[in-house]
Structure 1
Amino acid sequence: MRAGDTFRLQGVADKHTWVVVSDPDQNPSQVYCVAFTSYNVSKDSTCIIQPDEFPLLTHSTCIDYFDVKILSVAALDGGIKKGLIQKRTPVPPELLRKIRDGFNSTRDTRFEYIAFLIAQGVI
């Protein structure tokens, strides 16, 4: 998996598409991922994404900065091989930048996540 790759977990209730936001080459044991979720007024409006920005979307969507998944490259690759993770279309570079930039604006994430991404030089 690389930064900007997206995936969906199979066989669980979670039907969100997740995107890799950190750089797995720098920290393969800590790969930070955030989910696309349907946008409504009760959600974080830091990063609202429209369907014309990413072809997998069918309606206004936002990023859930509160629920950051931290996985390893080994776990992701193993999940793909076992059919537990379905790889999807990667996000375009400009959308990855928009999602990453949202970490500096949202109040819905932990400082340690921001610090990790800053240390990697991705935000």
Structure 2
Amino acid sequence: MVGQIPKLDFTGLREMDLGDFVDMDAASVMYKNTYYILPHIATNLRIHFHKFVHVALWAELGSSAFMQRYMREIQQVGYHNAPLELMVYELDAHFAYAGEGINIPNHVANTL
């Protein structure tokens, strides 16, 4: 939990016309295997689950491949329609509505 979400200097992303994504006012963010979350949403288990899925994606794809794919998808179809983000939201909804248990790292590996 942090008082302010860290913003890394993503100059290359701005050059790719992804400044809106970099500057997005987010209450949580994930970098590699760590996520940062603001206190007002820290008790929301759904947010933690969402970030865990992102960590599983990053672990499965590796840092470079994850970032390249994630940014390419956002660039091509936007954040809300990016296939990796859609996968996270689908699993997030499954979790929120008490779906059958899923091994997230295995599911991610088998779905990619």
Judge same fold: TM > 0.5, yes or no.
Answer: no
Q: Which one has a larger percent strand, Structure 1 or Structure 2?
A: 1
TM superposition score normalised by structure 2? 0.24
TM superposition score normalised by structure 1? 0.23
Q: Which one has a larger percent helix, Structure 1 or Structure 2?
A: 2
